[in-house]
Amino acid sequence: MEKTATEEPVQTAEYQCHMISEGKATGRVLFSKDPFCFYLVDPKNGVVLDKNHCLYGQSIADTILVFPNGSGSSVVQADGMYQLKIAGTEPRAMVVRNLDTTLVASAIIMESPLVNRLPEEFYANTHDGDIVTVNATDELVTVEASGLGADGVAVGLDGAKTAETEG
């Protein structure tokens, strides 16, 4: 008999954050270990074009994008975010560790929820594909463990296996 992650109760965790740009959005989280330059994203589909970026070839459209900081000049960052916004391929919300004025101003102008100051537990316990709600206005981030780990086994917020598949 096969046991899947959907048979297990959904684990959730809530984290306090600091609002930079108000709003609320839910989506699948996508982590970038590299600084992010929105200008190097194809506005048609949200795919990262920078061959040296850890997210090369992946789409950031409709994600909750988590990244360390912005990259690039103020003009290219703001224009990149604008192009994504008008094409409808921007992230639903953003979580950033280190702010810069261009990122802040662009998020506010584009009305994109942006937060920072999440505890280290958020970064340790949240994985690509988890469903995350960023409620910037209420300064709260909610995470639901929903993805499977690299070995195909459901993984909870604490990294523990929550279900196993029998062969």
Asked whether the CA dihedral 90, 92, 97, 98 is positive or negative, the reply is: positive
| 73 counts as catalytic | yes
Nearest to residue 5, comparing CAs of 159, 149, 109? Answer: 149
Q: H/E element holding 8?
A: none
Angle between helix 74-87 and 101-109 (nearest 10):
30
Q: Are 4 and 154 in contact (CB under 8 A)?
A: yes
Type of residue found at 160: A
Among 32, 59, 73, 112, which one carries the catalytic annotation? 73
Q: Which helix (H) or strand (E) holds 140?
A: strand 140-144
Sequence-ordered list of residues with C-beta below 8 angstroms from that of 148, at least 6 positions apart, any chain:
5, 129, 154, 155
* 65 contacts 104 by C-beta, under 8 angstroms: no
Catalytic site positions: 73
